[in-house]
Chains A and B, each alone.
Chain A
Amino acid sequence: MAEPPLSTISGWGRQSALGRELVGEDLEKLSLRASLSRGLGRSYGDSSLPADDQRTVLNTRFADRILHFDQETGAIRAESGLALSELNRLLMPRGYFTPVSPGTSFVTLGGLVAADVHGKNQHRDGNFGDHVTALKMRVGDGSIIECSPEEHPDLFFATVGGMGLTGHILEVEFALRRIPSEWVWQENRRIHDIDEFQDALEEAASEWPYSMGWIDCLARGKNMGRGILMTGDWAEPEHAPPTPPKPGFRPSLRFDFPSWALNGLTIRAFNELYYRKQWRHESSGIVSYASFTYPLDAIRSWNRMYGRRGFTQYQCVLPREAGRSSARRVLEVLTARGGASFLCVIKDFGRESCGLLSFPRPGITLALDIAVRDDTQALVDALNEQVLREGGRIYLAKDSFTRREHFEAMEGKRLDEFKAVRDRWDPERRFQSAQSVRLLGD
């Protein structure tokens, strides 16, 4: 088979790298020729990009067959390129939903495992990896093996959240969750500052299975961290509309916005409008699961809004021990540098992760979308220094600017354990990504 041509491969934030991208249905065959797998490229930074232009990455999107599904229990096994959007489309009408979903449905099962994705229900249900019962993998010595929490547990727990660095995930087996309808009862509430936010999320956690908040990142002073708390739960059939939600029209951004389009002024206008839209103190109602879970999926290629230089998302978690005002201190770093974030999300985490290098831990997480400018590196450095002081860490699936020394300081012992598993399973470091070169020194 011919070598795929050299091409530009990019992540969602539009950072890109030169490399070769294989694509095909037969992962068993193709994985022998690749040093990394990637799915739908929804990770923002460089985690799905090849380590260098000599490398081949395997795009799994055509390997999407469902190999087993049990209508009684919701147990499912599928090839790793299956997209969550397709799974939802097919199985929600049969009463099943993924136990954990990120804020977009355009992700693959492989990506859900490799990033050990969290959703609005992290405080209750943990991460995607907590619901995985087995993985079929191509590992460093070229063999194909099955791993699970019982079988080769070291490999399993390093692969969950391991960002593709332990081998190719070929198949994923996990447990779907029963849902009463495809509709969600959503309640929104205005929040006046960041400390109130931390309290409100904590309160909501005991009451609601799904919760998260949107923050107006431009509000300063006593308004800093004001925003909207959104909570939700599945609607029972008797409260839901009689027919399932209709798939909406999805317009697409077909061109890059010029880089001046997103400036302080437009960001301010958007955030102000969004905050005012929630003009009542509280509101509630029945909405489709898609509008609740995937508001951003309504516009395809919305990442083009940021223009050619792209953007990054800075996502960190601040441990509970850091206290009530930890989020305020991080936001202060952003505002002090005049950094503008178009979108800023806050969420509490309630559970430890099972993955060796997974991101979530009990505490509060902030995710800031930031357009790439000349000073972005300095901003991320400053944010990372603050996060280090709080004892927190960053999310690899979003990162492209963190420095290796910051990452090592954040991860400490966890990183040593992760390296030990890689030494066992892939001593020659066959599996690498642009990110692992940057952060793990591959």
Chain B
Amino acid sequence: MRVAFLGATKGMGRALARLMAERGDSICLLGRNPEDLERSAADLGVYGNGPAVPCVPCDLENPESFTTAIESSSEALGGLDAVVVSAGVFAPQEELEADPELVERLLRVDFTNTVLFCEAAKKALLAEAAGTLCVFSSVAGERGRKPVIIYGAAKAGLTRYLEGLDHKHNGDGLRVVTVKPGFVKTSMTAGLQPPPFAGEPEGVARQVLRAIDRGTPVVYTPSIWRLIMAVIRALPRAVMRRVGF
């Protein structure tokens, strides 16, 4: 599989890219820090025990870079079978409420620009006649919740967008995989108290890779979060107003 990967430098993206490299997939790394990309490329090169891993600059804060980045990665790999987006940012609700600029940036990165990036990726994949677009959204987008009002809204928008893409293009050979992680122990969540059923990036990566191979449209990961979210979605408004989560 030839994969363009945005967000493989850290967290769940790093774990997933390593799994892919280890089984022999060709990866092109997209990211905002060229020096750091090279370090990840070296790492994936050892995991893959194969040819060098190409890197392409791409910053989610800079939509002008998207089309070129996708084109360059397609060129580097000789075509694309999949595009993975695990890049994203998070900020706690209190911090966002104190800083309107941060709100604007988070909405732009996690929603607007992620959608724009997916639009560019979609075009490239449709041109290949078949391909997978795998994007990390979140369970935070499932229900308006006090600790993640703004982040959750961005992810809710992203989830809806991906759902629409799936509905429209499934027949054209575009397989859209929406990943909805629950709480996963990465540096994004460091400093937050992990709830029961918190996941590890490696476990998430295995599950997501299976979903990519099978074309599963929606993955809750760790799986238990499907159940947890079903319960949370079913809670009446009166209850949601009272609880802290």
Contacts and interface: CB of A to CB of B under 8 A. Distances in A.
Interface string A34-73: 0000000000000000000000000000100111110100
Contacts of B187: 23-25, 62
A265 interface: no
A66 B43 contact: yes
A25 B43 contact: no
B191 A4 contact: yes
- Interface magnitude class on chain A: 10 to 19
A94 interface: yes
Interface-centre pick from A4, A26, A65 (highest chain B CB count, 10 A): A65
A2 B43 contact: no
B243 to A, nearest CB: 22
A253 B10 CA distance: 30
A29 B99 CA distance: 23
A71 B10 CA distance: 26
Interface string B132-158: 000000000000000000000000000
A67 B191 contact: no
Contacts of A71: 49
Interface in B38-70: 39-40, 42-43, 46-47, 49
A67 B47 CA distance: 11
B227 interface: no
Interface string A15-41: 000000011111000000000000000
Contacts of B9: 25
B49 to A, nearest CB: 7
Contacts of B191: 2, 4-5
A25 B186 CA distance: 9
Interface string B23-49: 000000000000010011011001101
A26 B187 CA distance: 10
A412 B9 CA distance: 46
Contacts of A261: none
B39 A94 contact: no
A27 to B, nearest CB: 11
B226 to A, nearest CB: 23
A22 B187 CA distance: 9
Interface-centre pick from B9, B11, B14, B46 (highest chain A CB count, 10 A): B46
A117 B81 CA distance: 45
B73 to A, nearest CB: 20
A142 to B, nearest CB: 20
A90 B190 contact: no
B42 A90 contact: no
A2 B186 contact: no
B237 to A, nearest CB: 31
Given A65-B40, A67-B39, A23 B190 contact: yes
A25 B188 CA distance: 10
A62 B187 CA distance: 8
Nearest to A78: B43
B213 interface: no
